[in-house]
A and B are shown apart, each in its own frame.
Chain A
Amino acid sequence: MARPEDDDEDAEALTWAGDEETGRAAPRLRDLTAETAVGEPAEADDEPEAPGSRGRRRVATVAFAVPYLALTIGWIFAVQLSDSPAQLLAAILWQFGEFLAMLAAPLWFAATLTLTRDARPRARVLALAVGFVMLLPWPVILRFLAALQLAGSLS
C-alpha cells in the first residue's frame, strides 16, 4: 500500500537538481490516467458500427482473396510471355512495369483492406470488384483464347 511519504520520495527521485529553474519541475512519468481520459471521448465519438458489418466485410475479404491470388499468378505468367524491348532505357522501363504489374493485384487488395477499414462493406466489395475487372491478365487470357481457337481449328 503506497504511503504519502512514498509518493514524495518517488517525485523526488524523478526530478533533477535545477529543474525548478528550467521549468521542468513536474515528475518525468507520463500521466497515463490523463492520456486515457483524453483518449476515451474520441472512441466514444465514433459512430456505432452496424451489427454484422464487420462480419460482412470479412466475408467480402475472404471471398475476393482467392480471385486476387489467381490474378497475381496470372500476371506472373503474363510477364513470362512478353519480350522486353532491345533498347536499354525501354528495357528498364519495361521490366519496371512488369514488376509493378505482378504486384498490382496484391497492392490493390492490400490498399482496399487498409483504406476501407472503417467503410461500409459495400464500399470494400465495390473496390475489390473494380480492381478484379481492371487487373485481368489479358496477355494470358488472349494467349489462352488463341490456343483454344487453334485447338478448335485442328479438331
Chain B
Amino acid sequence: MIVVPIVFAVLFALALVMPVSDLGGLPAVYAAYGIGDAVPWPLLVLAVVLPPVLYVVALLLGRGRPPFARALLFTVALATSFALYFGLVALVGAIQPPLAL
C-alpha cells in the first residue's frame, strides 16, 4: 500500500529537477544579459511549489482508495505538474524583456 506513494514520490522528485534548476540558474542568466531586475520570481517559485502541492493533493484524494485508483490519481497529478511547468516556461519566455548584449 505504501509502495505507490513512494514510487510516485521519486517521479515527483524528478519533476522538481527542472524547476529547481531554473530557480538556481535563470537569475544569473538574466543578470548576465543585463535584465537582472526582470527575473520572474513568482513564476519560478510557483514552478517549484506546484509538484509537491499536486503530490499532496493526489495523496489526500487517494486515501482509502484501492492501489489502482491511487496510482491513477498520482499519474494524473504528475502529468498535470509537467503540463503546468511547460505553461510556466512559456509564460516566462513571453514576458521576458528584450535581451541587451
Contacts and interface: CB of A to CB of B under 8 A. Distances in A.
A146 B87 CA distance: 15
B82 A97 contact: yes
Interface in A135-150: 135-139, 142-143, 146
A82 interface: yes
Nearest to B86: A101
A137 B83 CA distance: 8
Contacts of A44: none
Interface of B: 14-15, 17-18, 21, 65, 69, 72-73, 75-76, 78-80, 82-91, 93-94
A108 B75 CA distance: 9
Interface of A: 75, 78-79, 82, 89-90, 93-94, 96-98, 100-101, 103-104, 107-108, 110-111, 114-115, 131, 134-139, 142-143, 146
A84 B46 CA distance: 21
B54 to A, nearest CB: 9
Given A97-B85, A136-B87, A90 B79 contact: no
B18 A97 contact: yes
Contacts of A143: 90
Contacts of B17: 89-90, 93
